[in-house]
Amino acid sequence: MRDRTCRRRDERVVWHERWRSQRIGFHRDAPLPLLTSHWHSLGLPPDSRVCVPLCGKSLDMVWLAEQSHRVLGIELSDLAITQFFDERGLAPRIHTSAAGTHYIAGPWELLAGDAFAVPAALLADCAGVYDRAALIALPASMRATYAATTWSRLPAHCRGLLVTLEYPQHEKAGPPFSVGESEVQARFVGTQWSVALLERRDILAHEPSFQAEGVSALSTAVYRLDRAG
Ligand SMILES: C[S@@+](CC[C@H](N)C(=O)[O-])C[C@H]1O[C@@H](n2cnc3c(N)ncnc32)[C@H](O)[C@@H]1O
């Protein structure tokens, strides 16, 4: 238990340091095509709230707001959140709670805090969830904790998309980590989520950094997850 707590603390230090030095190669300057092509199949009502765990300053949150959603992002780094609002020319209202510091402007509420510790009450009105580069950002032991905490606290009938990467893990050290379909099933089925693979794409040709590290195969997959009532 102590080892696991220390590991989580170490991981948090690494992410803060990455934001401080702007080593944020995971950040994309456009919404993810797998999001824009599959989101509407979830059939969520326009004004519904969508949880984006480990959100960084992702432009996917801008796209979700453009679809008339309210967005609850959860992110360790205040710096990431400040950059998100600065880049939109917004001055968020700020307050603190036991969960962390809340930054709120327009359709976005971004919580600077630990997603693993987010209380169920804060997630209670989230009808949707979107995970890109969150599950796969975590080492295996933390992925189990993430599924058993953040995802388990989302309410009944919540539904969303989970985007993963798959590659031979021995060819490269994560993050991002390879998470195959059997692991997705193992993490979520049995914790009241049903899982359906929507699409898998070969993306090696578009990822020169993986090629440069000698990775021989790389796919991305998108799953629909539905929480039982
Ligand atoms: C790989 S990045 C992905 C960010 C975003 N999802 C995207 O697609 O650009 C992972 C993010 O998770 C944040 N993070 C890591 N552990 C976290 C935790 N326990 N709670 C909240 N955020 C966390 C990091 O600071 C980092 O911004």
pLDDT value, residue 1: 54
Does residue 181 sit in helix, strand or coil? helix
Tell how far the Cα of 195 is from the centroid of ligand 1, in angstroms.
22
Residue 34, ligand 1, Cβ within 6 A: no
Give CA angle at 136 (112, 32), nearest 5°. Answer: 80
Domain 2-227 has CATH 3.40.50.150: yes
Tell how far the Cα of 214 is from the centroid of ligand 1, in angstroms.
25
Read off the tokens for 221: 């997959």
Is residue 228 a contact partner of residue 159, using CB atoms and an 8 Å limit? no
pLDDT value, residue 27: 97
Q: Which atom of ligand 1 is nearest to the CA of 16?
A: 25
**What is the mean pLDDT for each group of 10 consecutive residues in the chain (229 residues)?**
68 94 96 98 96 98 98 98 98 98 98 97 98 97 95 97 98 96 92 94 96 97 96
Select from 76, 82, 142, 222 the residue to mutate for testing ligand 1; criterion: most ligand atoms less than 8 Å from CB: 76
**CB-based burial of residue 209 (10 Å sphere; 0-12 exposed, 13-18 middle, 19+ buried)?**
exposed
Closest by CA position to 115, among listed 131, 96, 104:
131
Residue 132, ligand 1, Cβ within 6 A: yes
Is residue 198 a contact partner of residue 39, using CB atoms and an 8 Å limit? no
Is residue 31 a contact partner of residue 60, using CB atoms and an 8 Å limit? yes
Q: Which atom of ligand 1 is nearest to the CA of 142?
A: 19
For residue range 175-213, what is the model confidence (pLDDT) as tens digits? 999 999 999 999 998 779 999 999 999 999 999 999 999
How, if at all, do strands 49-53 and 126-132 pair?
A: parallel
Q: Where are the strands (E) in 28-187, listed by range?
A: 49-53, 70-75, 93-97, 100-105, 108-112, 126-132, 159-166
Residue 115, ligand 1, Cβ within 6 A: yes
ipTM: 0.99
For residue range 148-172, what is the model confidence (pLDDT) as tens digits? 999 999 999 999 999 999 999 999 9
Q: What share of the chain is helix, strand, coil (3-state, %, to 5)?
A: 40, 25, 35
Rounded to two decimals, the pTM is 0.96
Q: Tell whether omega for the bond before 176 is within 30 degrees of 0, i.e. cis.
A: yes
Select from 75, 110, 220 the residue to mutate for testing ligand 1; criterion: most ligand atoms less than 8 Å from CB: 75
Residue 77, ligand 1, Cβ within 6 A: yes
Residue 81, ligand 1, Cβ within 6 A: no
What is the spatial distance between Cα 123 and Cα 149, in angstroms, rounded to a whole number?
12
Residue 51, ligand 1, Cβ within 6 A: no
CB atoms within 10 A of CB 1: 5
Is residue 93 a contact partner of residue 104, using CB atoms and an 8 Å limit? yes
Select from 4, 8, 15 the residue to mutate for testing ligand 1; criterion: most ligand atoms less than 8 Å from CB: 15
Q: Where is 41: in which H helix or E strand?
A: none
